[in-house]
């Protein structure tokens, strides 16, 4: 019986020692990598949902590197990235990878917004 209690205590202490950082009331976990992309998972205190944070600036710079108007492209890409939490790979095409949020977003002129 004492051995079981010591074992449970050891497991509990091990779980408590896993690195977690608190910044602005959010619990930030280590990076999660899938399909060559790494994301940082954040658990908000109130609703405890996992939310992805991605580097929109870096991903949009790569996406718009071959665009004829890179500043305009980066601005539109940044908006789409924040709203849809996704940027397609490559410099053009592959928009369907990000789903309907990315493909269906349009400007006031009814043109596709996301590059």
Partners of 17 in beta bridges: none
| CB-based burial label for 14 (10 Å; 0-12, 13-18, 19+) | exposed
**pLDDT tens per residue across span 93-108:** 888 888 899 999 999 9
**In the structure, what pLDDT confidence band is assigned to residue 22 with cuts at 50, 70 and 90?**
very low
DSSP run (H or E) holding 30: strand 26-34
* In contact, 45 and 23? CB cutoff 8 Å: no
User: Cβ–Cβ contacts within 10 Å for residue 81, how many?
Assistant: 22
Structural domain spans, the chain = 18-53, 56-115
pTM of the entire predicted model: 0.55
Residue 42: what pLDDT? 52
**In the structure, what pLDDT confidence band is assigned to residue 10 with cuts at 50, 70 and 90?**
confident
**pLDDT tens per residue across span 33-42:** 544 555 555 5
């Amino acid at each position: 019986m004492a051995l079981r209690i010591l074992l449970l205590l050891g497991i509990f202490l091990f779980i408590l020692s896993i690195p977690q950082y608190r910044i602005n009331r959010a619990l930030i976990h280590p990076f999660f990598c899938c399909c060559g992309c790494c994301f940082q998972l954040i658990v908000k205190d109130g609703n405890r949902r996992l939310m992805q944070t991605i580097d929109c600036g870096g991903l949009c710079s790569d996406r718009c590197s071959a665009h004829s108007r890179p500043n305009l492209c980066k601005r539109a890409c940044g908006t789409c990235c924040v709203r849809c939490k996704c940027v397609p790979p490559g410099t053009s095409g592959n928009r369907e990878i990000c789903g309907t949020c990315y493909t269906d977003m349009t400007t006031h002129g009814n043109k596709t917004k996301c590059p």
